[in-house]
């Protein structure tokens, strides 16, 4: 058969304008990014981690705004107090009630707590958790002692405190009392009326011994020991009087040119701050509100980590690109420099920068320099590896043959291919920066307090010192911090697996 | 091999020399610590400073420093923390505590880490593997001072099982000392265990899927036999160098853990010298830490070559 001269009429058109063909082609390709995203979505733990990160970031942004406290507000009495929100504590569900556990409390101590509740109407005892009875022989007599394990509201437990104030302040509080009906100042109790016990502002009843064992009247009620000694009254009092006061109790005494009175601290707090204590995560040993302090510290950590990662990504990419693309002697020299820099322990770099530069560029600036000086090395090594991988491939060769310049080859042809790897490793740099930043402020080598007020590391090192008295002051920052690091690492791993499915499970 | 080792050692010494020089000059550029007038040590320290050439150019100072160190092992005298005492003597007195604590922790964590790694790899992708991998992930992500806090709070304070701080004294091998070191050892170990578990698991899962494992099974070995004889042996190519590297690292200690548990060791000495601005101490410890870091990396690289002679990390071939 003659294949060269096939007559025209033997050909028939089968495809022009036919619907099925165009339809088959219009499906379109799945882009690299889209592909990676769908792989990422399948990795459940990474998706959860992403949501946790979102939540933590939102917390960092919103918490300092929501909290009524600034970082400079340092309460002098409520230091190391557990979480407390008045509205929630009224529900009695055991959350945010300022509760702390007191073990081995004897009956006198329990009675003292109950008496505080009787005087101010705020009973510190939330509930009696356990009761233990021990019988001891004392001089031939059997003696029963009961000890209690109590859950007490630490905010109410503070009760009444002695406060020295000027007469104008005293007048102002009285006006406030008249306006709001909130009893702040309570009648004064002299130490000679309560068996000579000093520095115990919460004892307002008659006692039988110096331990403070209360005396009861025939109705089993406490007997008030308020002073009626008008001669020692500090200033005239013309405001709310407590129940049972017929106008004889005095509400202040003179002390060192000013007045001393018994002040219910909880109500005084409302007077001074305009709202009841609201420490959703408690306070630390400095009396700072942890809820906003954690958010503030985290804000700094996150911003700082982002800046550092961005700079390191840029510097590392350029450096690694030059190294990888040119190779040979350039690579050798640049690699030596990177080697020397990476041989320096980071703590040395950070310290030296701190000592030399902190005066000129500030603590944060010098810390940033320290991170940037050594941080890009990992990124450069990674870029270099990617460049070695791609630069010999045919598409680069083809571009070079067509006359593309070095810069064009680097940025238009090799670089986009390695971008996925680099960006994902950036997600793993962020947690490591946060971690070392926190470690350094924890150790006290870097003091960020002047710049941001506090940082997660500072909060944790303060929490560590008051660990036995207020474990929550360590626990909450540590929890936030751990969650942040774990979810960033999970998220980064998920991203990496999604962008290079071949490297799944390989740790770099 | 010998040529390779010598080459690596030479490069390491060069790097160490350059870093030492840079740090030395940077530290000497700072004004030296002011000495309290009238203190008995002030005159001694001033005389020593004169001899070390504090008023001469920095490079001359560095020369004197190197000569003193290399010929007399003289690192200068502490001028803030331990007035007038030899820096090298204080350092030597702090080293044992750090080394012992770290040695215990390594001896504890290597077997556990490798064992967990094997368990995870042989149970790949089931419940056990996921549990171990998640725990490893958590332990690696969370810095050591967080679980040091948990250990100190629960084991030492809440339940009273262990002492709060490391016992003072130098009886490093007495039973009481060991007990008081337990919280430190635990805190140090968690991270090491996690990293060993991760390395072993990653390597072993890869080895278990290779062809020679299939061959071992086909010639009649049981799964356990094949894993023990062929799988483990091959995964050790990566795990063993890591172990060697860790042994070098036992001297360096952990800054934070030592500070939290009051270990009288090198790490806390370093932190104190930084926070107390004791420059002679700082220089010596910087050189020490740099040397340890470089040595560990070199030992890891070289031991790859010993474990598997085909590997030469960092060489041109």
Give the residues across from A161 on adjacent strands. Answer: A263
- Among A27-31, A253-257, A478-482, B107-111, the least confident range: A27-31
Long-range pairs for A92-97: beta carbons < 8 A, 24 or more residues apart: A94/A126, A96/A280, A97/A126, A97/A153
CA distance A485 to chain B (A): 6
> Is residue B109 scored above 70 in pLDDT?
yes
The chain A residue lying nearest B29, using CA atoms, is A356
**May I ask the CATH class of domain B98-264?**
mainly alpha
| Burial class of residue A65, CB neighbours in 10 A (0-12, 13-18, 19+) | exposed
Whether residue A467 and residue B205 make contact (CB cut-off 8 A), yes or no, is no
What does the pLDDT look like over B264-305, one tens digit per residue?
A: 888 888 888 888 888 888 999 999 988 888 888 888 888 887
What is the mean predicted confidence (pLDDT) over A380-391?
A: 83
Whether residue B199 and residue A507 make contact (CB cut-off 8 A), yes or no, is yes
* Two tokens, residue A312: 């390191």
Mean pLDDT of chain A: 83
Whether residue B274 and residue A351 make contact (CB cut-off 8 A), yes or no, is yes
Helices and strands, counts by H and E, chain B: 13, 0
Which residue has tokens 């942890």?
A290
Where residue B312 falls among pLDDT bands split at 50, 70, 90? low
pLDDT at B226: 86
Where residue A508 falls among pLDDT bands split at 50, 70, 90? very low
> Is residue A146 scored above 90 in pLDDT?
no
Q: Is B261 on the interface with A (CB under 8 A)?
A: no
pLDDT at A504: 46
Mutation target among A343, A460, A463 for the B interface, most CBs of B within 10 A: A343
Q: Is B288 on the interface with A (CB under 8 A)?
A: no
Mean pLDDT of chain B: 84
Where residue A506 falls among pLDDT bands split at 50, 70, 90? very low
Q: What is the pTM of this model?
A: 0.83
Mutation target among B141, B201, B251, B298 for the A interface, most CBs of A within 10 A: B141
Q: Which of B141, B149, B202 sits opposite A489 (nearest CB)?
A: B141
Distance between CA atoms of B116 and A346, rounded to whole angstroms? Answer: 31
| Angle, helices A472-499/A44-66, rounded to nearest 10 degrees | 140
> Is residue B316 scored above 60 in pLDDT?
no
What is the mean predicted confidence (pLDDT) over B155-180?
A: 80
Please list every residue in chain A whose beta carbon sits closer than 8 Å to the beta carbon of residue B315. Answer: none
The chain A residue lying nearest B25, using CA atoms, is A352
| Burial class of residue B173, CB neighbours in 10 A (0-12, 13-18, 19+) | exposed
What does the pLDDT look like over A323-364, one tens digit per residue?
A: 888 878 888 888 888 888 888 888 888 888 888 888 888 888
ipTM: 0.83
DSSP state of B125: T
Give the residues across from A153 on adjacent strands. Answer: A99
3-state secondary structure of A211: coil
Residue of A24 and B213 predicted with greater confidence: B213
Q: Is B146 on the interface with A (CB under 8 A)?
A: yes
What is the mean predicted confidence (pLDDT) over A2-18?
A: 75
- Where do the DSSP E strands lie in A201-302? 253-255, 258-264, 278-279
How many CB atoms neighbour CB A231 within 10 A? 5
> Is residue A422 scored above 80 in pLDDT?
no
Mutation target among B142, B194, B290 for the A interface, most CBs of A within 10 A: B142
Residue of B83 and A269 predicted with greater confidence: A269
pLDDT at A507: 40
> Is residue A162 scored above 80 in pLDDT?
yes
Where residue B30 falls among pLDDT bands split at 50, 70, 90? confident
> Is residue A269 scored above 60 in pLDDT?
yes
pLDDT at A465: 84
Residue A470 · residue A285 · CB < 8 Å: yes
What is the mean predicted confidence (pLDDT) over A133-151?
A: 81
Residue B115 · residue B198 · CB < 8 Å: no
DSSP A176-208: HHHHH----EE----GGGGTT--S-TT--B-BS
Which residue has tokens 């233990």?
A132
Return the domain boundaries, chain A.
49-62+286-503, 84-158, 160-279
CA distance A443 to chain B (A): 7
Residue of A4 and B10 predicted with greater confidence: B10
What is the mean predicted confidence (pLDDT) over A15-21?
A: 61
What does the pLDDT look like over B44-72, one tens digit per residue?
A: 788 888 878 788 888 888 888 888 888 88
Q: Which of A351, A444, A482 sits opposite B146 (nearest CB)?
A: A482
What is the three-state SS of B191-241?
HHHHHHHHHHHHHHHHHHCCHHHHHHHHCCCCHHHHHHHHHHHHHHHHHHH
CA distance A366 to chain B (A): 15
Please list every residue in chain B whose beta carbon sits closer than 8 Å to the beta carbon of residue A355. Answer: 27, 30, 277
The chain B residue lying nearest A478, using CA atoms, is B146
> Is residue A57 scored above 90 in pLDDT?
yes
Where residue A29 falls among pLDDT bands split at 50, 70, 90? low
| Angle, helices A456-465/A290-326, rounded to nearest 10 degrees | 130
CA distance A432 to chain B (A): 9
Q: Which of A343, A481, A506 sits opposite B146 (nearest CB)?
A: A481
Q: Which of B137, B149, B198 sits opposite A486 (nearest CB)?
A: B137
* Two tokens, residue A349: 């770099």
DSSP A397-436: HHHHHTT--HHHIIIIIIHHHHHHHHHHHHHHHHHHHHHH
Where residue B116 falls among pLDDT bands split at 50, 70, 90? very high
- A-side interface with B, Cβ within 8 Å? 339-340, 343-345, 347-348, 351-352, 355-356, 431, 435, 438-439, 442-445, 460, 463-464, 467-468, 471, 474, 478, 481-482, 485-486, 488-490, 505-507
The chain B residue lying nearest A428, using CA atoms, is B141
What does the pLDDT look like over A275-327, one tens digit per residue?
A: 888 888 888 888 888 899 999 999 999 999 999 988 988 898 889 888 888 87
Whether residue A343 and residue B15 make contact (CB cut-off 8 A), yes or no, is yes
Where residue A56 falls among pLDDT bands split at 50, 70, 90? very high
Q: CA–CA distance from A141 to each of A135, A137, A138 (Å)?
A: 10, 5, 5
Return residue ranges of chain B for CATH 1.10.3720.10: 98-264
Where residue A453 falls among pLDDT bands split at 50, 70, 90? confident
The closest alpha carbon to A112, from A79, A88, A136, A148, belongs to A148
pLDDT at A48: 92
What is the mean predicted confidence (pLDDT) over A68-85?
A: 85
CATH architecture of the region A49-62+286-503: Orthogonal Bundle (1.10)
pLDDT at A28: 59
Residue of B249 and A364 predicted with greater confidence: A364
pLDDT at B317: 42
Q: Is B256 on the interface with A (CB under 8 A)?
A: yes
Backbone angles phi, psi at A268, to 5 degrees: -60, -40
Q: Is B140 on the interface with A (CB under 8 A)?
A: yes
Where residue B315 falls among pLDDT bands split at 50, 70, 90? low
């Amino acid at each position: 058969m003659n294949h060269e001269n096939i007559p025209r009429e033997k050909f028939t058109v089968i495809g022009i304008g036919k619907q099925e063909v165009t339809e088959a082609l219009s499906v379109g390709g799945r882009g690299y990014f889209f592909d990676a995203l769908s792989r990422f979505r399948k990795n459940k733990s990474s998706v959860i981690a992403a949501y946790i990160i979102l939540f933590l970031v939102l917390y960092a942004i919103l918490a300092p705004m929501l909290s009524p406290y600034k970082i400079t507000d340092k309460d002098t009495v409520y230091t190391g107090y557990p979480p407390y929100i008045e509205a929630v504590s009224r529900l009695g569900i055991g959350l945010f009630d300022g509760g702390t556990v007191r073990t081995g409390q004897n009956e006198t101590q329990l009675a003292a707590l109950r008496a505080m509740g009787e005087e101010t109407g705020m009973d510190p005892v939330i509930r009696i958790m356990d009761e233990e009875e021990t019988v001891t022989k004392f001089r031939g007599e059997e003696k029963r002692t009961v000890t209690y394990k109590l859950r007490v509201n630490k905010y109410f437990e503070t009760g009444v405190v002695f406060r020295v104030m000027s007469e104008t302040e005293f007048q102002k509080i009285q006006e406030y009392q008249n306006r709001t009906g909130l009893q702040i100042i309570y009648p004064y109790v002299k130490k000679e009326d309560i068996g000579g016990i000093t520095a115990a502002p919460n004892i307002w009843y008659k006692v039988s011994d110096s331990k403070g064992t209360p005396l009861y009247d025939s109705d089993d009620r406490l007997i008030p020991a308020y002073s009626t000694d008008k001669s020692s009254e500090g200033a005239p009092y013309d405001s709310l009087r407590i129940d049972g006061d017929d106008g004889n109790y005095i509400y202040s005494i003179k002390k060192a040119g000013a007045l001393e009175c018994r002040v219910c601290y909880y109500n005084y707090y409302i007077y001074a701050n305009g709202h009841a204590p609201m420490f959703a995560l408690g306070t630390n040993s400095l009396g700072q509100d942890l809820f906003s302090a954690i958010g503030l510290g985290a804000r700094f950590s996150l911003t700082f980590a982002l800046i550092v990662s961005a700079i390191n990504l840029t510097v590392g990419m350029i450096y690694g690109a030059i190294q990888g693309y040119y190779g040979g002697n350039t690579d050798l020299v640049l690699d030596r420099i990177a080697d020397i820099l990476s041989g320096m322990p980071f703590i040395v770099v950070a310290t030296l920068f701190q000592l030399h530069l902190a005066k000129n560029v500030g603590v944060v600036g010098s810390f940033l320099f320290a991170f940037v000086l050594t941080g890009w090395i990992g990124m450069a090594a990674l870029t270099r590896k990617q460049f070695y991988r791609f630069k010999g491939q045919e598409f680069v060769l083809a571009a070079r043959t067509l006359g593309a310049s070095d810069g064009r080859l680097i940025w238009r042809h090799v670089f986009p291919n390695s971008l996925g790897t680099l960006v994902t490793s950036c997600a793993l740099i962020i947690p490591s920066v946060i971690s070392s930043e926190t470690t350094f402020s924890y150790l006290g080598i870097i003091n960020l307090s002047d710049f941001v007020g506090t940082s997660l590391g500072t909060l944790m090192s303060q929490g560590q010192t008051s660990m036995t008295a207020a474990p929550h002051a360590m626990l909450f920052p540590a929890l936030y911090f751990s969650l942040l690091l774990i979810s960033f690492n999970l998220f980064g791993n998920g991203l990496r697996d999604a962008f290079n499915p071949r490297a799944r499970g390989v740790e770099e | 091999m010998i040529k390779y080792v010598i080459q690596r050692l030479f490069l390491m010494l060069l790097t160490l020399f350059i870093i030492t020089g840079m740090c030395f000059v940077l530290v000497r550029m700072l004004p030296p610590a002011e000495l309290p007038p009238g203190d008995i040590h002030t005159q001694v320290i001033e005389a020593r400073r004169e001899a070390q050439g504090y008023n001469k150019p920095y490079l001359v100072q560095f020369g004197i420093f190197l000569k003193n160190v290399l010929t007399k092992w003289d690192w200068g005298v502490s001028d803030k923390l331990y007035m007038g005492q030899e820096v090298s003597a204080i350092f030597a007195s702090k080293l044992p505590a750090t080394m012992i604590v770290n040695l215990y922790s390594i001896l504890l964590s290597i077997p556990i880490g490798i064992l967990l790694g094997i368990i995870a790899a042989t149970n790949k992708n089931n419940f056990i593997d996921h549990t171990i991998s998640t725990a490893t992930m958590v332990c690696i992500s969370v810095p050591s001072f967080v679980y040091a806090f948990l250990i100190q709070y629960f084991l030492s304070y809440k339940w009273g099982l262990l002492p709060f701080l490391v016992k003072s004294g130098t009886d490093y091998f007495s039973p009481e000392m060991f007990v008081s070191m337990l919280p430190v050892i635990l805190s140090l170990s968690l991270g090491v265990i996690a990293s060993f578990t991760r390395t072993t698991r990653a390597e072993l899962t890869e080895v278990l899927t290779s062809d020679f494992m299939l061959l071992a099974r086909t010639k009649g070995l049981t799964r356990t036999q094949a894993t023990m004889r062929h799988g483990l042996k091959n995964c050790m190519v990566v795990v063993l160098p890591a172990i060697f590297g860790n042994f070098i690292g036992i001297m360096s200690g952990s800054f934070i853990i030592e500070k939290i548990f009051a270990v009288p060791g090198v790490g806390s000495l370093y932190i104190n010298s930084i926070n107390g601005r004791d420059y002679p101490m700082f220089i010596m410890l910087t050189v020490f830490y740099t040397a340890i870091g470089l040595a560990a990396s070199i030992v890891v690289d070289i031991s790859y070559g010993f474990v598997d002679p085909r590997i030469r990390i960092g060489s041109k071939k």
